Amino acid sequence: EADIYQTPRYLVIGTGKKITLECSQTMGHDKMYWYQQDPGMELHLIHYSYGVNSTEKGDLSSESTVSRIRTEHFPLTLESARPSHTSQYLCASSEGGGPYEQYFGPGTRLTVT
């Protein structure tokens, strides 16, 4: 089983609040990713990182930001949450080899009221 953790698992928060979604992996993987997933919709890549101090935006425009100060940690921050941010956020990691073997965390289901 993949050792990638996300906290919190569920979060209900009011509009305008600042939130940070945590993601940690213990596999020493260089690459980490954040996806957004809505019911019945495909996963959309919103951020990725190929190593410490390296972050890039993904295909889906997002108002969130990320940081990668340590290899194992890749938090995602929303400065001011809005109802449109309501979604499931999935963190993943992979090592250097093929592009296919991404290990996913259990996800954070965010609801902004």
Q: Which residues bind other proteins (CB under 8 A)?
A: 2, 4, 40-43, 45, 48, 58-59, 90, 92, 98-107
State which residue, 31 or 73, has the beta carbon closest to other proteins: 31
Q: How far is the CB of 58 from other proteins (least distance, A)?
A: 7
Contact 35, 43 (CB under 8 A): yes
Contact 43, 104 (CB under 8 A): no
Q: How far is the CB of 55 from other proteins (least distance, A)?
A: 14
State which residue, 2 or 52, has the beta carbon closest to other proteins: 2
Q: How far is the CB of 96 from other proteins (least distance, A)?
A: 11
State which residue, 14 or 100, has the beta carbon closest to other proteins: 100
